[in-house]
């Protein structure tokens, strides 16, 4: 199999072929078009990046000015790094108490916004709830901070 993207037919056919392509062939394509392998070995990730590269080779790259403008627009709309309203309502020193499996668990809100439980520090209430229960929970729901219908995790 050749790894030259331009010689393998139409753009849509090349992208469609990625879905059924053996992983070894995907890696051969990757190595031909990228300087190093990604930190993830996810088939979907590899195929999506190759699909982007196929389109980029066929139609050209995004103009750098447009790319900068898109990044600025995305950053201005992003909610990443913003605290949720619930976190802002929990004052440092607040102790949340939850009984679970014959034990009482006390979580203290720390000044930096993290949570302390049994001398361990967690970055979220959900992480503390997961530590207590051993399963995925919404921390605010687990500690009764949200109104939740019965039987909902």
Write the pLDDT tens digit of every residue in 126-153. 999 999 999 998 888 898 887 655 555 5
80: left (phi over 0), alpha (psi -120 to 50) or beta: beta
Whole-angstrom Cα distance, residue 143 to residue 7? 59
- pLDDT confidence of 1, banded at 50, 70, 90? very low
> Domain spans of the chain?
5-77, 85-142
Residue among 3, 57, 2 nearest 29 (CA): 3
Q: How many other CB atoms are there within 10 angstroms of residue 125's CB atom? A: 25
Contacts of 57 (CB under 8 A, 6+ apart): 5, 6
Residue 65 vs residues 53, 58, 62, 76: alpha-carbon distances, Å: 19, 20, 8, 17
Q: Is the pTM of this model over 0.75?
A: no
Q: How many other CB atoms are there within 10 angstroms of residue 115's CB atom? A: 25
């Amino acid at each position: 199999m050749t790894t030259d993207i331009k010689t393998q037919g139409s753009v849509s056919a090349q992208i469609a072929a990625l879905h059924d392509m053996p992983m070894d062939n995907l890696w051969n394509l990757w190595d031909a078009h990228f300087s190093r392998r990604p930190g993830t070995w996810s088939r979907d990730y590899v195929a999506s990046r190759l699909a982007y590269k196929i389109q980029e080779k066929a139609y050209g790259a995004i103009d750098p000015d447009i790319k900068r403008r898109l990044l600025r627009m995305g950053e201005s709309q992003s909610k990443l790094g913003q605290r949720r309203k619930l976190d802002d309502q929990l004052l440092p020193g607040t102790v949340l108490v939850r009984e679970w499996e014959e034990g009482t668990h006390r979580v203290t809100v720390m000044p930096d916004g993290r949570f302390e439980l049994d001398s361990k520090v967690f970055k979220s209430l959900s992480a503390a709830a997961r530590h207590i229960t051993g399963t995925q929970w919404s921390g605010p729901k687990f500690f009764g901070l949200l109104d939740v219908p019965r039987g909902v995790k």
